[in-house]
Amino acid sequence: MLTLEPWALLILPLFFALGWIAARIDIKHVVADSRRLPKAYFQGLNFLLNEQPDRAIEAFNEVVRVEPETVELHFALGALFRRRGELERALRIHQNLINREDLPAPLKEQAMFELGVDYLKSGLLDRSEEIFKRLSEGARREEALKQLLEIYQLEKSWDKAIELAERIPELAAQHEVAEFWCEMAENALIRSKTDEARRHVQQALSLHRQCVRASIIAGDIERKEGHADRAVEAWLRIEQQQPEFLALVASRIAEVYKGMGRQAEGMQLLKGFLSRYPSVDMLDVVCQQVVEEEGAQAAYDFAIAELHRTPSLIALNKALEARAAVTPAEQLADLELVKKLVKAQTQRLARYTCKSCGFKARQFYWRCPACSEWESYPPKRSEELALIQ
């Protein structure tokens, strides 16, 4: 049983008394602070709570006019409206702050920065760029330069992004700058400027030797110039870089070997990759090759063997597709029902997932459209990642 010393019984009331006094002091401070706030402050809060944001902004403008030290209230409101997507109201708040002649220089610079972010979120990239260029010479230089780099990427001004990243290396990692060069290479390839594209690929690889995308584009360049063997050689380098990305070029490899009249050789190469680096995308390509070369029954047998080796609904769907091709019409109804149900599930699972923000997409992206991270998508579908984990 717990026993207390006599001296402890004397100290306990003292602690309670001290706590009560501290609480009273805090309450007095709160009351005193609230009395010092202008009436317009409470009117603004009331308008905001009653979903009258325009009148709230007017009231808070009056607060700032009467009590300049409450300018932080405007910054908080601007950030709130921007998060809610009410960009016009955020713009108005920050513009009002910039127009104040009595606003100290550091706060005016902060208001300009927030206005630049408002323009960026609104898609007014030229106005945003102009503001951040001005701020890049001041105290908020680093933050402004980061925003400028983001603007150049949104504008797809890859030459400007590369120039800025090379001038200030801490703004972007080398693998990100390598992606800028890859964007330049793809643009050159679209315009059939293969020599220019090749130079950009070399720049990317010099920065990031493990840049899979550069190897993919290198193969595309050789293929466009009619050098099938060199194209395959470039794509095969991916095995030394990041072999799980071979699934992204499986269909390219199959098409090139088919064009050379060496389908069987290409199929054996892809089967070897599939056995070493299991992937549903690779399985899809190989199954199609088996159908073309050996028939639907062989494709079904192959898909079933792969299903036993790496069980997944996506692999089951491929097996059912092959099975349907060799099933008599009178027995096809039940199989089609099962196939339809499985396919509905695989459409939900057959997506790529950004490892940075979790955004799911049907197609593979080098840069996540949700969080803007580069190389954040593993080349595996959601179901495969779940099985690995």
Supply the CATH number for residue 35's domain: 1.25.40
Q: What is the pLDDT of residue 20?
A: 47
Angle, vertex CA 264, rays to CA 261 and CA 266, nearest 5: 80
Tell me if residue 381 falls in helix, strand or coil.
Answer: strand
- Are residue 63 and residue 87 in the same domain, yes or no? yes
CA torsion angle 319 322 327 331 (round to 10): 50
Positions in the chain short of pLDDT 50? 1-2, 4, 7-10, 12, 14-15, 18, 20-35, 66, 387-389
From residue 89, alpha-carbon distances to 80, 92, 132 in Å are: 10, 5, 20
- Are residue 286 and residue 357 in the same domain, yes or no? no
From residue 47, alpha-carbon distances to 56, 172, 313 in Å are: 5, 43, 54
Residue 242: both structure tokens together: 């990041």
In a domain, 240, yes or no: no
In a domain, 251, yes or no: no
354 in a known ligand binding site: yes
In a domain, 77, yes or no: yes
In a domain, 388, yes or no: yes
Are 64 and 73 contacting, i.e. CB atoms less than 8 angstroms apart?
yes
In whole angstroms, what is the distance from residue 356 CA to residue 339 CA? 33
Residue 93: domain span: 31-122
Question: Tokens 């202008």 — which residue?
Answer: 38
In whole angstroms, what is the distance from residue 177 CA to residue 183 CA? 10
Q: What is the pLDDT of residue 268?
A: 93
In a domain, 297, yes or no: yes
Residue 349: both structure tokens together: 């699972």
In whole angstroms, what is the distance from residue 220 CA to residue 190 CA? 11
Are 155 and 127 contacting, i.e. CB atoms less than 8 angstroms apart?
no
pTM equals 0.77
In 3D space, the residue among 227, 272, 268, 222 whose CA is nearest the CA of residue 246 turns out to be: 272
Are 71 and 64 contacting, i.e. CB atoms less than 8 angstroms apart?
yes
- Are residue 345 and residue 373 in the same domain, yes or no? no
357 in a known ligand binding site: yes
- Are residue 96 and residue 60 in the same domain, yes or no? yes
Q: What is the pLDDT of residue 386?
A: 53
In 3D space, the residue among 316, 331, 327 whose CA is nearest the CA of residue 383 turns out to be: 316
DSSP state, 209? Answer: T
From residue 348, alpha-carbon distances to 266, 320, 337 in Å are: 31, 17, 18
- Are residue 343 and residue 385 in the same domain, yes or no? no
Q: What is the pLDDT of residue 68?
A: 53
182 in a known ligand binding site: no
In a domain, 8, yes or no: no
In whole angstroms, what is the distance from residue 149 CA to residue 201 CA? 21
DSSP state, 310? Answer: S
Q: What is the pLDDT of residue 281?
A: 87
Count: domains in the chain: 3
Q: What is the pLDDT of residue 357?
A: 92
In whole angstroms, what is the distance from residue 381 CA to residue 370 CA? 18
